[in-house]
Amino acid sequence: MEAPKFPSLSVFFPAYNDAPSLPALIHKTFEVLEQHVADYEVVVVNDGSYDDTAAVLEKLRREFSPRMRVESHPENRGYGGALRTGFATATRQFVFYTDGDGQYDVGELPGLLALATPETGLVNGYKLERHDPAHRIWIGNLYNFCARLLFRIRIRDIDCDYRLIRRELLDRIHLTSTSGTICVELVRKLELSGCVVAEIGVHHYPRLHGKSQFFRLRSLAVTFAQLVRLWVRLVILQ
């Protein structure tokens, strides 16, 4: 007897100059959703890309219409801006997102769906092993440790952008971050809501195309400044 399908799911990917990785990612996403989800949509947020991302997404949109939509920012709004657009446009009961660069395998999504009980608000992945250059691993571990400590966050891997979230909770919280600090803001506010949180290990793969925007000097400076302001708002003034 075939297992029942997950009822309702929005999947979205923030994309910034991810043209080479998107075709394989989107095709696999639809294969997984067709097998495991009854009602779904796929949204890609093109965050001001200047490579061939727009053309690649238009071709994919035509191929998978009407199940796929593309939301485009005329200019780059940062990782937080892309996530906020994705959350705002998602329409189904649960929302899953991961990055458009292909470092996570969307084939592991059914593992998250299996943990979504009627009480669950967040299913958060954690990297079983990080496949990045040594300096990125070191900075990532330090960032994760400090963010968990300063913001009193319980999940083990804030830096793992492989998340399944109940949409009604997203409707209740107001996100303001435009940088990567949105992950801290998101998880902190979800934990403060009192929702049930589940965690599951997922694989992380080497980046095959492009470069991370997070580890550029300007991005790190913006992230640090936003992190300080966020800490004052969510911890000191809470």
Count of structural domains within the chain: 1
pLDDT for residue 85: 97
Give every CB contact of residue 192 below 8 A, 6+ residues apart in sequence: none
Most confident of 131-135, 220-224, 229-233: 229-233
Residue 182 domain-assigned (yes or no):
yes
CA atoms of 162 and 196, how far apart (whole Å): 17
Residue 226 domain-assigned (yes or no):
yes
Domain that holds residue 168: 6-236
Residue 140 domain-assigned (yes or no):
yes
Strand-pairing partners, residue 45, are 14, 71
Give the three-class secondary structure for 56.
helix
Residue 93 domain-assigned (yes or no):
yes
What is the CA angle 216-221-223, rounded to 5?
Answer: 95
The token duo for 76 is: 């780059």
What is the CA angle 215-26-203, rounded to 5?
Answer: 55
Residue 1 domain-assigned (yes or no):
no
Mean pLDDT value of segment 9-22: 96
Arithmetic mean of pLDDT over the chain: 90
Question: Of residues 138 and 32, which shows the higher confidence score?
Answer: 32
What digits encode the pLDDT tens for the residues 177-224? Answer: 888 889 999 999 999 999 999 999 999 988 766 555 555 556 667 777
The token duo for 69 is: 């939509």
Tokens 């998250």, residue? 112
What digits encode the pLDDT tens for the residues 136-192? Answer: 778 778 888 888 988 999 999 998 999 999 999 999 999 998 888 899 999 999 999
Q: Which of 106, 60, 107, 82 is nearest to 15 (CA)?
A: 82
Q: pLDDT band for position 130 (50/70/90)?
A: confident
CATH of the domain at 89: 3.90.550.10
Residue 17 domain-assigned (yes or no):
yes
pLDDT for residue 80: 93
pLDDT at 35 over 60: yes
Report the greatest alpha carbon distance in the chain.
54
Region of poorest pLDDT, from 19-33, 36-50, 176-190, 217-231: 217-231
pLDDT at 127 over 90: yes
Residue 56 domain-assigned (yes or no):
yes
Would you tell me how many other CB atoms lie within 10 Å of the CB of residue 28?
A: 15
pLDDT at 128 over 90: yes
pLDDT at 38 over 90: yes
Q: pLDDT band for position 95 (50/70/90)?
A: very high
Would you tell me how many other CB atoms lie within 10 Å of the CB of residue 206?
A: 10
CA atoms of 42 and 93, how far apart (whole Å): 13
Residue 11 domain-assigned (yes or no):
yes
